[in-house]
Structure 1
Amino acid sequence: MKKILITYWSGTGNTEQMANLVAEGASGDGIEVILKNVSETSTDDVKNADAVALGCPAMGDEVLEESEMEPFVDSISSIVEGKPCVIFGSFGWGDGKWMRDWYEKMEGYKAKLVADEGLMVNGEPAGADEDSCKELGKTLKDSIS
């Protein structure tokens, strides 16, 4: 059975909601979806997954969360090479610089980014944003089916 790991950091719950919606879109067709907070995720979880979704909101001056998420992303730099991957997160200000920087970082790690860019949602996902999150999960699932 193919495995998709969805790991995230969420401060207000918006990115956690996005992670749940990504998981919903990735489910089915014999795929095992593993949904974990980054604090509970190990590098072995990433190694054992066929595809990975990473979620983190914009923090501070449009950066990844610095105490858990950024160190985790750096710790998997050699593991994600060639692995299908998507990134997502919520924001409340700025123009998406954190997501562009993160996408570029993942490209540098040679992750197989299966979406043209990271998915950003302003605030809480609702309506079309919910659909976009589910579609991101489906895109990741389709990359390993």
Structure 2
Amino acid sequence: MITIKKIVVIYWSGTGNTEQMAEAVVQGIKSQEDVSVDLVAVGSASKQHVAEAHAIAFGCPSMGDEVLEESEMEPFVKSLAAEDVSGKPLALFGSYGWGEGQWMRDWEDRMKGLGAKLVAEGLILQEVPQEDGLSRCRELGEKLVQA
């Protein structure tokens, strides 16, 4: 019997850059066999999306002083507990316009602290994703399926 892996990609995007990244992650996931994937803007996401998923990808750009977006993504991430993500394969991604990626390192530490299993370092791309960056997003989606 074939087991279908259910994967959810939850993201927030202000300018569309992180949304493009999320769509490319989904393309990478869909390129693999025996998977189903849901792409969900964080404003429509629930903890149930996370609970039902075999693996998860979260995407959010760097905001302000290198933090997650504060009105939707930060509250969603803050609502997660160890029982929601512990042991699950997880990928993180996002775009940025300045800084050195501290928001992503902090986010990785938070998710590891909840017991999530990061499949790769958080993927960050500066400004509008170019084809090489979108290719890296697709590869991240493939890694998530294989985890």
2:96 counterpart residue number:
91
> Could you tell me which amino acid in structure 1 is paired with residue 110 of structure 2?
K
Q: Whole-Å Cα distance in 1 between the matches of residues 92 and 39 of structure 2? A: 14
Give the C-alpha shift of residue 18 in structure 1. Answer: 0.2
> Where has structure 1 moved over 2 Å in runs of 4 or more?
none
Give TM-score, length-normalised by structure 2: 0.94
Unaligned runs of 5+ in 1: none
> Could you tell me which amino acid in structure 2 is paired with residue 19 of structure 1?
A
Asked if 1:47 corresponds to 2:35, the answer is no
Question: When the two structures are aligned, how many residues end up with a matched partner?
Answer: 142
1:73 counterpart residue number:
77
1:137 counterpart residue number:
141
1:17 counterpart residue number:
20
RMSD: 0.8
1:119 counterpart residue number:
123
Give the C-alpha shift of residue 77 in structure 1. Answer: 2.5
Q: Whole-Å Cα distance in 2 between the matches of residues 76 and 25 of structure 1? A: 25
> Could you tell me which amino acid in structure 2 is paired with residue 91 of structure 1?
Y
Unaligned runs of 5+ in 2: none
List per-residue Cα deviations over 1:97-129 (Å, max 9, x = no partner).
Answer: 1001111111111101111x1000001111210
Asked if 1:3 corresponds to 2:6, the answer is yes
Q: Whole-Å Cα distance in 2 between the matches of residues 95 and 71 of structure 1? A: 23
Q: Whole-Å Cα distance in 2 between the matches of residues 22 and 84 of structure 1? A: 14
Worse-superposed segment, 68-77 or 128-137: 68-77
What fraction of aligned residue pairs are identical, expressed as a percent? 54
Asked if 1:58 corresponds to 2:62, the answer is yes
Give TM-score, length-normalised by structure 1: 0.96
